[in-house]
Each structure stands twice: as structure tokens, then as C-alpha cells.
Copies of this chain bind each other. A is one copy, B any other.
Amino acid sequence: MEGGKGVVKHIFLAKFKEGTTEEEIEKHIMSYADLLNHIEHMKSFEWGTDVSIENLHQGFTHIFEATFETLEGRSAYVAHPAHVKFGTALFPTLEKVIVIDYVPKA
């Protein structure tokens, strides 16, 4: 557990389609971060680009991690109109995506 930042972690891995511009990608990242201001269940958001050295990233280039306090909060986020709108704009730009959630244990 990380100091009240949530007990459900929501990991999103993305590979954008060839031709997606840096500007488009930045816009989607800002929209993702902005969900924090619209969905109270979402407790934190962070992201970064792949810096791995093991050549096992399978082409994924962007990692996004959000946290939620409960599974119910996570589910409310998934169904929230702001999230649905964000996803509807994002998905056509993705070549590959993985979304996986877990409740961290030590």
C-alpha cells in the first residue's frame, strides 16, 4: 500500500498506431490526466514511456497507472461518461492495448 493512494491499481499499456503524431499523443495523455478532475473515484494518475532494457516490452511504448480505493470505485470509473468519452477518442489511435487491474500484495 502506498500512503492512501488507492488499493486497486489500473495499468494501461499502449502502442499507438503509426502516423499518430506526438501532439495527438500528448492530447490523449492530458485528457487521461484530466479524468482526475472529473471522476472522484480516481485517486491518482501517472504515466511514462518505456525505458526497459530487456527487450520484452512487446512493442508497447506508453504506460499509464491509475489508482482507486475500491473495486467499486474502479468499476464506477470504467462506466463514468467522462471515461467512456476519453476511451472513445483514444481507442482508434491504438495499435495494441492492455488494461489490467490488481489489488497489490507485498
**Most B C-beta atoms less than 10 A away, residue of A48, A71, A102, A105:** A102
Contact with B along A25-52 (1 / 0, CB 8 A): 0000000010000000000011111111
A91 to chain B, nearest CB (A): 10
CB-CB < 8 A to A78: which residues of B?
53-54
A74 to chain B, nearest CB (A): 8
CB-CB < 8 A to A5: which residues of B?
2
CB-CB < 8 A to A52: which residues of B?
10, 99-101
CB-CB < 8 A to A2: which residues of B?
2-3, 5
Counted per complex, copies of this chain come to 2
CB contact under 8 A between A60 and B106, given known A3-B3, A71-B51:
no
CB atoms of A97 and B48 under 8 A apart = no
Q: Can you name the residue of chain B whose Cβ is closest to the Cβ of A91?
A: B56
Residues of A within 8 A of B (CB): 2-3, 5, 8-11, 13, 33, 45-54, 56-58, 60, 63, 65, 71, 74-75, 78, 97-106
